[in-house]
Structure 1
Amino acid sequence: MVAWSVCAKRIALGGSRNWILLLVVFVVYTTWRETFPDAHSLKTITFMAKMKPQGANRPSQSIGHPKIVQDGYQKAILLSYMRGGTTFVGSTFERNKDIFYVFEPEWSLIFQTMNEYQPLQNVDGTFQDPVWIHDADETVERLIQNYLYCNISGIDVTSLRQRFMLEARYTKPLYDCVRMKRNKMANCVKNFTNVCTSKKFRFLKTVRLRVHAIEKLLTNDPSLRIIHMIRDPRGIAVSRQGWQEFYQAKMTFTFGRVCAEMLRDIESVEKLPPEVAKRVLPVLYEEVAENPESMVEHLYKFVQMPYTGYVREYVKNVTHAAKDNTVGFSTQRANSAKTAYSWRAKISWKLSSEIDAICERVYKKVGYLRAKSEQVLRNYNISLRDPHISGSYVDKFRQFRIPP
């Protein structure tokens, strides 16, 4: 606190700009404390960061996947990109009481890998080895595997406490339990594990997981299915602009990365053996928005989970609501099809053209079209999707899986 007070006095002498800087630093610090409540003190973390990383160049240790997993449980992962429209699709599975649903399970773990020497605290109070950036994929895969197989005691404490646990009916009680100091972590985990194992169907929704990180898991478990959801990058751009303004300053850079991730995921699926690739279903967000009731039912059929009357009614209600609710991760839309293309009136011609150039290879794989002029961009009667593209990623990998 002394350091903070000294810093504040110095910044006060520097005028309003430095006060803004202080505010930004304070927000970042408090967010860090909220995200990693069980981390060591700042001095300890600083000391660890300066330590020579023993075995930093060691080869990654194997997770130890079983050859073939047949445990009688049906599992699925909804994989996409931030502001890619997955919150709505994920919510249709979260509303199903027969499905153990987890929202963004690897969120805190991804941020931990940004600090190479950040240890992971186990449920029993011990610590795992620090997360090395070059081992990040293996660490994330282990986390996903633990959720899919209800090995909750193998999940680090920070992941169990992260804020997205509030987004699902079965994970919220765990979040509440571990946040109450009088509760023992072991008891919270035991209850959560019992809930997980009682459900025959398990479903994870994520925008931070990439296909290559779970290739082994997908290959070794014939009951695991992946819904790979893709949205027009221009639509993602507008959604992100409205959600967090800081994206506007670096939008072109951001979409170089977004489309690179899309392309890598597509190519990862294309390289899978045919018998494995058939358990991956590419889906366009725009198609779901245009026909939400039929598409959600088809997605349920693909992952082989029960599509209940309650879920059917939920889909109908949220996609034909009286008005939009666009706060945070809300899924309520008065007209979901109209919402899917509203970006065409909001995006600047300059940004649209830049994204067209950056994401050209993704467009060719999926079937999105460049806007040849601003007039074309604003004209909703002119489609920016090619419905007749032959051999596209979406067409090739989903034929015979979702009826037209």
Structure 2
Amino acid sequence: MKFLMTNCVMRFYRRIKLTLRKREAFGLITFVCIVLLNILLITGHLRQQSREVYPYGSSHTRKNFIHSGGQFTMTYNQSSLTIKDVPESFKSSAVLKNSSDDVTGRQFEGNQTHNTQSVLVLTSVGRSGSSFLGELLASQGHNLYIYEPVRILKKSDQNEENVRAEILRNFLCNLREDLLGVGKSPSVSIKHPYTYGKTKGDVVLSRIIDYCKMEPLRIIKTIRTRLAWMKPLLDDKYLNLKVIHLVRDPRGSSLSITKVEWTLTTETICSRILEDLEQRREMEQLYPDKYYFLKYEDLCRDPYGRTRDVFRFLKRDTSNEAQRGNASRVGKFHSSVGDFDNNNERYKKNDAGSFNDLPEGVLNYLQSHTHVNILTEKTPWTTVRDTRGIYQKWRQSVTQEQLTDIETHCRGVLHILNHKIFGSVKIARNMSVSLNDENL
């Protein structure tokens, strides 16, 4: 009897033990499934987060890719990174020294190996096409585009030293919180997939800074910087800076400035344009692979061809510039509007067909921003234009008083640009008269 009872107890114990083991196994399996499911969800979220669509038609996924500045690789959550090899002159710069956000010491998650390229789109005054050109460059993707960072400085503080320090600060990704509050949304001043379509409360400055450091290309567009002020930055190899100097006929800029009610006198407009134009020859001699001169009128008449020239300039290697010395490219990329007067057929309908070497995002941008009827333009702030018609639109609206005033103050500028001085609105309105002065 005792044996039978013992045997029953043992069987009961074994069944309970087996049941517990099954439950433990079931619980373990359930736990493992939950963990795997979470891993899959997190991985999918990171993949989605790592793929950002650029507002101008290009997209990218954070993987290995080749850029003109070198190979760029990004791996998340592996190590901390700091900006290294910053010249002592940069570290001691007042704008960095007094900053609470030290550029040279900031750490962020990720692992990057790339040669960052900095591009400055500079024009002497507003209403000259610099917003269009800046967006055009940004449309290729893999970049962070900063729009007019100098404007957060007081006008009284916008001198050579402060402006240069502010440009440097932004190229080194030491961005100011104030930039996020300029305009209706953060993407007005800082254009990147992370900021696009978001409000100020939706973005975090530190993350924008991280993206800035990750991207292989940083673009700044400014109308508040004199060309000569950028020479120290062009001399610095670490910054790897290239400048695109955009100039528009002052008659077109002046009338557009009047339309948007900016308080700039004709004399101020012309003096700023002339000051920068007088630096052009020296810049071409000193920095043949870092400085590019571009006329707005040329870009409008031949948007695809000029864009190709710009991208070839950006891809040009600057490592051997010192050995070339003063091998100037003066006039190599500059051509007058008149060069295209008898060569319009190749640019009429299928513009993109012969320019497949341009990035897809750039072609998409050109297609969507340069073929719009003038009558459909609803705001002077848009970058969507009928580019071949817009650059001479001022000739149909300028008054005799305005024409006389601008041509009097801007005679030197017009001469350097090789543009005709019309003298009377009757001649200006005659579109058969070329804008280019064939006598110069």
Query: What does 1:2-401 correspond to in 2, within 5 Å?
Result: 63=93, 72-80=115-123, 81-109=125-153, 112-114=154-156, 133=157, 136-150=159-173, 152=174, 155-163=175-183, 165-167=186-188, 168-170=190-192, 173=195, 179-180=200-201, 188-221=204-237, 223-244=240-261, 247=263, 254-272=265-283, 274-304=285-315, 307-322=358-373, 324-333=376-385, 335-386=386-437, 389=440
Q: In the aligned structure 1, how far is the partner of 2:248 from the partner of 2:297?
A: 7
Q: In the aligned structure 2, how far is the partner of 1:229 from the partner of 1:94?
A: 16
Q: In the aligned structure 1, how far is the partner of 2:282 from the partner of 2:312?
A: 25
Q: CA deviation at 1:375?
A: 2.1
Q: 1:218–1:326: structure 2 CA closer, same or farther, 3 Å change rule?
A: farther
TM-score between both structures, scaled by the size of structure 2? 0.59
Contact 1:324-1:332 at 8 Å conserved across structures: no
Q: Which amino acid aligns with 2:187?
A: L
Q: How many residues align?
A: 288
Q: Deviations over 1:108-155 (max 9, x none)?
A: 11xx143xxxxxxxxxxxxxxxxxx4x8321221121122122x2xx4
More helix by share: 1
Q: CA deviation at 1:376?
A: 1.2
Q: Secondary structure of 2:146's partner? A: strand
Q: Secondary structure of 2:149's partner? A: coil
Q: 1:276–1:366: structure 2 CA closer, same or farther, 3 Å change rule?
A: same
Q: In the aligned structure 1, how far is the partner of 2:308 from the partner of 2:314?
A: 10
Q: 1:188–1:317: structure 2 CA closer, same or farther, 3 Å change rule?
A: closer
Q: 1:264–1:276: structure 2 CA closer, same or farther, 3 Å change rule?
A: same
Q: In the aligned structure 2, how far is the partner of 1:296 from the partner of 1:102?
A: 20
Q: State the match for 2:107 in structure 1.
A: none
Q: In the aligned structure 2, how far is the partner of 1:172 from the partner of 1:162?
A: 17
Contact 1:85-1:285 at 8 Å conserved across structures: yes
Q: Which has the larger radius of gyration?
A: 2
Q: In the aligned structure 1, how far is the partner of 2:376 from the partner of 2:233?
A: 38
Q: In the aligned structure 1, how far is the partner of 2:240 from the partner of 2:220?
A: 14
Contact 2:118-2:240 at 8 Å conserved across structures: yes
TM-score between both structures, scaled by the size of structure 1? 0.64
Q: Secondary structure of 2:164's partner? A: helix
Extract unaligned runs of 5+ from structure 1.
1-60, 66-70, 115-132, 248-252, 390-404
Q: CA deviation at 1:190?
A: 2.2
Q: In the aligned structure 1, how far is the partner of 2:92 from the partner of 2:438?
A: 43
Q: Secondary structure of 2:432's partner? A: coil
Q: In the aligned structure 2, how far is the partner of 1:308 from the partner of 1:387?
A: 36
Q: In the aligned structure 2, how far is the partner of 1:317 from the partner of 1:176?
A: 23
Q: CA deviation at 1:316?
A: 1.8
- Identity over aligned residues, as a percent? 21
Q: Deviations over 1:341-360 (max 9, x none)?
A: 11001000121111111011
Q: Which amino acid aligns with 1:77?
A: L
Question: Which one scores higher on RCO, CA 8 angstroms, separation ≥ 6?
Answer: 1
Q: In the aligned structure 1, how far is the partner of 2:287 from the partner of 2:391?
A: 31
Q: Secondary structure of 1:229's partner? A: strand
Q: In the aligned structure 2, how far is the partner of 1:202 from the partner of 1:377?
A: 40
Q: Secondary structure of 1:83's partner? A: coil
